[in-house]
Amino acid sequence: MDTPSPVDVAVSTALDKERTATDIESIKRAFLNNLFYVQGKPVSLATQHDYYMALAYLVRDRMLHRWNGTAESYTQHRARTVCYLSAEFLMGPHLGNNLINMGIYEPVRQAMEELGLNFDTLLAQEEEPGLGNGGLGRLAACYLDSLASLEVPSVGYGIRYEFGIFEQDLRDGWQVERTDKWLRYGNPWEVVRPEWSVEVKLGGYTETYTDDQDRYRVRWVPDREVLGVPYDTPILGYQVNTANTLRLWKAEAIESFDFAVFNQGNYYGAVEQKVASENISKVLYPNDEKTAGKQLRLEQQFFFVSCSLQDMFRILKGQGMAVEQFHEKFAIQLNDTHPAIAAPELMRLLLDEHGLDWSLAWEITQKTLAYTNHTLLPEALEKWPVSLFGQLLPRHLQIIYEINNRFLDLVRMKFPKDAARLARMSLIDESGDRYVRMANLACVSSHTINGVAALHSELLKETVLRDFYELFPEKFCNKTNGVTPRRWMVLSNPRLSTLITSRIGDRWIKHLDELKAIEPLADDAGFRAEWRAIKQSVKRELAGRIHRQHGILVDPASLFDVQVKRIHEYKRQHLNVLHIVTLYSQLKQNPSLDITPRTFIFSGKAAPGYHMAKLMIKLVTAVGDMVNRDPDLRNQLKVIFLPNYNVTNSQRIYPASDLSEQISTAGFEASGTGNMKFAMNGALTIGTLDGANVEIRDAVGAENFFLFGLTAPEVVALKADGYDPYSYYQRHPMLKDAIDLIASGHFSHGDGDLFKPLLDKLLYHDPFMLLADYQAYIDCQETVGRAYSDADSWTRMAILNSVRMGSFSSDRSIAEYCSDIWKVNPFPVGLVDYGEIGG
Ligand code: CR1
């Protein structure tokens, strides 16, 4: 027998120590120690939150061996690293996810129960880090999970907002916002690294000088500087030793006290600078798919991008690599245009700070950056007034002008005498007031540009990025979104996951394609019964929560028809309402009518300044108030708006859903990711041919998907033909009836004006073509209702939906980004023996 190598011995010792540290008795001991020594509380005085903190630190301690081992290993081997730059990371609560990825969910749950604590109550103590608006931020979080699970070296770079997405309350059925004080009781998952703080310049002017080699150089003389302080959170992969890092920057004053000012007696002035600096990372802009155009927003973008790039140069140097190797060490992904300022900032660092010449700096920049587009909505295309931009970032404006000069020559060469094209492609919009166009900047500066679903990537090439596609066809590709099955199945639907594992083992959690092995069981009556029983029990739980929190009784046997997402006209929550009002009206006219009993569930936030979206919320709650109380309906319809949609709440909703509403106007939803979470949990989709719905339908089979509505080309054609929504109102009696009922004030205590802005927009403009799709939607919903009444066949379809979702794992998406865009390979790390595990 071979004698084991010292490395093998170290690994097995490390494993032993980990095993010992995660047995139930050690967990209990460490927990009680943390309670006493970290929280500083005896059991008799501890709150549920103290218990949560003691547990969180215990878990973090057990992650630290892998986190440190990963950092050492990447550094030692100078591993090629993906840097995912994103203004948003919607992580959701960490505790449960970390327990799953570490593989200690069960022993920890048992240890807590043995101590007499309710484990679910402990999990619920965590204030989720809601540092994102919706799909884009949550996608970034799923991607970090997959990067770590696939053992790919990576860092997520972003902003540590002191206040994340606002909390939503309902008052009299209207949305009201509350600040999200998620850091109030401390954040056990982060480690601050003040030693790696960086300085970020803002404002001022530039000047030229000649350096000691007689070269013409530019120097930026700022008028302010702020400090970026990194806060690191470990991102543990699923059942691997890899723990990557999410590095979020907090803005601070360089000198918290300006003593010169202070000594003159101007105490307030001394503190003022501190306040102004800290503003930069104070609050997340709550607009989803709409640019704010505010100076502070540009400051946020530049702040985190500059911090992150400077951090990369520090790492490069620390590993003894040359500046010229920047693109070999790092692949940077721009999550939308929010971090697109990375292009001129990387150029500035290479040119002004590291002395490279333009052509080499430009080559490195282009080889480093890649850009993901997330939306076709014109109001989401970021542009900054040139004057504002030049005041805040004078050097960057110069660099952008230079990039533009060289770029426009390229366009002239390829398309001579095409002034209109030049004007469209210029990085500067000069059609009126002058603007810097961030999407154009991102396209020119990146080696690859991708959309987030097949249809979206095609539409990008035909519409918003058409000129860029004609110039650089080789840059374009598609990377269909995906979601992590660890959070969206294992954590949020443990019973369904256990059922699946009982039949095919647990490899599916890392290889979601293997769910296919369940397919034959869709025809097994026993399996269907088990599946249905799980769905029923999860629905009962949600029903119980709705009753406790909102006092409304819903029937768990009814069809749970669910639309949860940001509130937006293009997502058409109001089309869903028109269906509800139609059913209501039919039942009122014929109370003995036999319909499939339904519980309609809505949840989602509206941007605080988006009045129409807020009115849509009021419409849902107003219809709900009437419908839920009307005895004529014999409880056949219920309408619930669940306030404060966030990751925590969504994890309870997807598993309890029967029907997933994905009803955006075709051509407007870039991908959607909620659509994937529903289907994985066995909800059937009613949807248009939009975003990733198209690919979901292909995967699950057309016969297991409820399709309706205009296609994207039909939407365009109808608009070009002169779409007249009013004529649909006149021609479709049920539509007219529903609209008239709302207009009459029936749902608004007789106030016929309340919903007038919404109804008038539908009748006379209807940019999202609700009226054109209304009848198809109603007919399709009738098919859904009939299908649901055959429970066995419905369950069969639900199973097929779930087990055919393999390719919508974010592991698949990330594997494609790695091979096609980032050219980066997995870099597995071993366990390192750092001695006993603390706590
Ligand atoms: C899109 O609207 C997509 C996510 C993630 C959103 C949604 O369809 O699933 O991005 N876009 O790719 C967005 O937030 C700012 O744009």
How does DSSP classify residue 320? T
Residues 144, 482 contacting (CB under 8 angstroms): no
Q: How far is the CA of 284 from the centre of ligand 1 (A)?
A: 17
**pLDDT of 1 over the 60 cut:** no
Q: Which two tokens stand for residue 810?
A: 């974010």
Give the pLDDT confidence of 798-815 residue by residue, as tens digits: 999 999 999 999 999 999
In a mutational test of the pocket of ligand 1, which residue from 89, 136, 668 has the highest number of ligand atoms less than 8 Å from its CB? 136
Phi, psi of 372 (to 5 degrees): -105, 125
- Tokens 């098919």 found at: 783
Residue 478 Cα to ligand 1 middle (Å): 14
Q: Please spell the DSSP secondary structure of 769-809, one letter per residue.
A: -HHHHHHHHHHHHHHHHHHHHSHHHHHHHHHHHHHT-GGGB
Q: Tell me the percentage of the chain whose pLDDT exceeds 70.
A: 98
Count the neighbouring beta carbons within 10 Å of the beta carbon of residue 568.
24
Question: Which atom of ligand 1 is nearest to 673's Cα?
Answer: 9
Which residue(s) pair with 176 in the sheet? 169
Ligand 1 test: best mutation among 88, 290, 374, most atoms within 8 Å of CB? 374
Task: Identify the CA nearest to 137 among candidates 211, 221, 248, 220.
Answer: 248
Task: For residue 778, report the distance from its CA to the centre of ligand 1, in Å.
Answer: 27
What span, in angstroms and rounded, lies between the C-alpha atoms of 369 and 620?
43
Interstrand relation of 637-642 and 598-603 (parallel, antiparallel or unpaired): parallel
Q: Which atom of ligand 1 is nearest to the CA of 133?
A: 14
Q: Given the DSSP bridges, would you call strands 684-687 and 706-707 parallel, antiparallel or unpaired?
A: parallel
- Residue 373 contacts residue 445 (beta carbons within 8 Å): no
Q: What is the pLDDT of residue 387?
A: 97
pLDDT score recorded for residue 837 = 76
427 near 441, Cβ under 8 Å? yes
Range in 166-175, 268-277, 809-818 the model is least confident about: 268-277
The pocket around ligand 1, CB under 6 angstroms, is made up of 134-136, 139, 288-289, 336, 374-375, 380, 452, 481, 669-673, 691
Mean pLDDT, residues 26-30: 96
Nearest to 535 by CA among 676, 654, 428, 416: 654
Which tens digit of pLDDT belongs to each residue from 117-126?
Answer: 999 999 999 9
Q: Please give the distance, rounded to the nearest whole angstrom, from the Cα atom of residue 451 to the centre of ligand 1.
A: 10
Cβ 227 vs Cβ 254: under 8 Å: yes
Confidence (pLDDT) at 268? 78
List the structure tokens of 744: 């009459």
Q: Which atom of ligand 1 is nearest to the CA of 134?
A: 14
Q: How far is CA 779 from the centre of its chain?
A: 33
Supply the pLDDT for residue 325.
98
pLDDT tens for residues 243-273?
999 999 999 998 755 656 666 777 777 777 7
**Tens digit of each residue's pLDDT (9 = 90 or more) over 395-415:** 999 999 999 999 999 999 999
Average pLDDT of the segment spanning 690-699: 98
Eight-class DSSP state of 705: S
- Ligand 1 pocket test, candidate residues 668, 671, 693, most atoms within 8 A of CB: 671
Say how many Å lie between the CA of residue 135 and the centre of ligand 1: 5
What's the token pair of residue 594? Answer: 């036999």
Average pLDDT on 485-489 reads: 98
CA distance 312 to 81: 10
CB 141 within 8 A of CB 89: yes
Please state, in angstroms and rounded to a whole number, the distance separating the CA atoms of residues 3 and 675. Answer: 53
Angle between the N-to-C axes of helices 770-789 and 756-764, in degrees from 0 to 180, rounded to the nearest 10: 100
* Closest residue by CA, ligand 1 atom 10: 136
Phi-psi map region of 701: left, alpha, beta (phi>0 left; psi -120 to 50 alpha): left
Tell which one of 89, 452, 571, 690 to mutate to probe ligand 1, the residue whose CB is within 8 A of the most ligand atoms: 452
**Closest residue by CA, ligand 1 atom 15:** 289
Q: What is the DSSP letter of 319?
A: T
CA dist 827 and 69 (Å) reads 12
For the chain, give the number of residues. 839
Say if residue 280's pLDDT is above 90.
Answer: yes
Q: Which domains are assigned to the chain?
A: 23-77+93-127 (no CATH), 78-92+128-478 (3.40.50.2000), 559-805 (3.40.50.2000)
In this predicted structure, the answer to whether residue 3 has a pLDDT above a threshold of 80 is: no
DSSP letters for 595-616: ---EEEEEE----TT-HHHHHH
pLDDT digits (tens, 9 = 90+) for 46-104: 999 999 999 999 999 999 999 999 999 999 999 999 999 999 999 999 999 999 999 99
Ligand 1 atom, smallest distance to 380 CA: 15
pLDDT mean over 670-699: 98
Q: What tokens appear for 591 in the block?
A: 């109370």
Tokens of 771: 């009226």
Quick one: average pLDDT of 475-479?
98
Comparing 2-16, 35-49, 621-635, 755-769, which segment has the lowest mean pLDDT? 2-16
Centre of ligand 1 to C-alpha 374, Å, is: 5
DSSP3 helix / strand / coil % (the chain, rounded to 5): 55, 15, 30
**Residue 21 banded pLDDT, cuts 50, 70, 90:** confident
How large is the average pLDDT for residues 712-733? 98
Tokens for 627, please give them: 């419908």
User: Angle at Cα 335 formed by Cα 331 and Cα 340, nearest 5°?
Assistant: 80
Q: Which two tokens stand for residue 572?
A: 């058409």
Look at ligand 1, atom 14, and give the residue with the nearest C-alpha. 136
Three-state SS at 478 = strand
Pairwise CA distance, residues 621 & 258, whole Å: 52
Yes or no: say if 261 and 583 are a contact pair by the CB < 8 Å rule: no
Residues 659-697 as b/e (b if ≥16 CB within 10 A, e otherwise) read bbbbbbbbbbbbbbbbbbbbbbbbbbbbbbbbbbbbbbb
Nearest to 332 by CA among 340, 324, 320: 340
Tokens of 425: 């492609």
Is-contact 165 190, C-beta < 8 A? no
Q: How far is the CA of 481 from the centre of ligand 1 (A)?
A: 10
Query: Within a 13 Å sphere around the CA of 309, how many CA atoms are in the beta-carbon half?
Result: 29
Average pLDDT, the chain: 96
- Report, as residue numbers or ranges, the catalytic residues: 374, 565-566, 571, 673, 677
Q: Mind giving me the DSSP string for 59-124?
A: HHHHHHHHHHHHHHHHHHHT--EEEEE-S-EE---SHHHHHHHHT-HHHHHHHHHHTT--HHHHHT
**Which is the closest atom of ligand 1 to the Cα of 456?**
8
The letter for the amino acid at 624 is G
Q: Given the CA of residue 669, which atom of ligand 1 is nearest to it?
A: 8
Stated pTM of the model: 0.97
* 622 CA → ligand 1 middle, Å: 29
Give φ, ψ of 438 to 5 degrees. Answer: -75, -30
What is the per-residue pLDDT across 307-339, written as a single tens digit (0 to 9) for each?
999 999 999 999 999 999 999 999 999 999 999
* 3-class state of residue 252 by DSSP: strand
Rg, the chain, Cα only = 28
The mean-pLDDT minimum among 149-153, 285-289, 804-808 falls in 285-289
How far lies 658's CA from each of 669, 687, 707, in Å? 22, 14, 16
Q: How far apart are CA 395 and CA 389, in angstroms?
A: 10
| Mean pLDDT on 818-833 | 95
**Per-residue model confidence (pLDDT) at position 260:** 66
Checking if the pLDDT of 839 tops 60, the result is no
Q: If you measure from the C-alpha of residue 668 to the centroid of ligand 1, how many angstroms do you get, rounded to a whole number? A: 10
- Tell whether the model's pLDDT for residue 833 goes beyond 50: yes
Between the CA of residue 221 and those of 226, 311, 352, 393, 481, what are the distances in Å? 14, 21, 12, 10, 42
| pLDDT of amino acid 298 | 98
Whether residue 150 is predicted with pLDDT greater than 90 in this model: the reply is yes
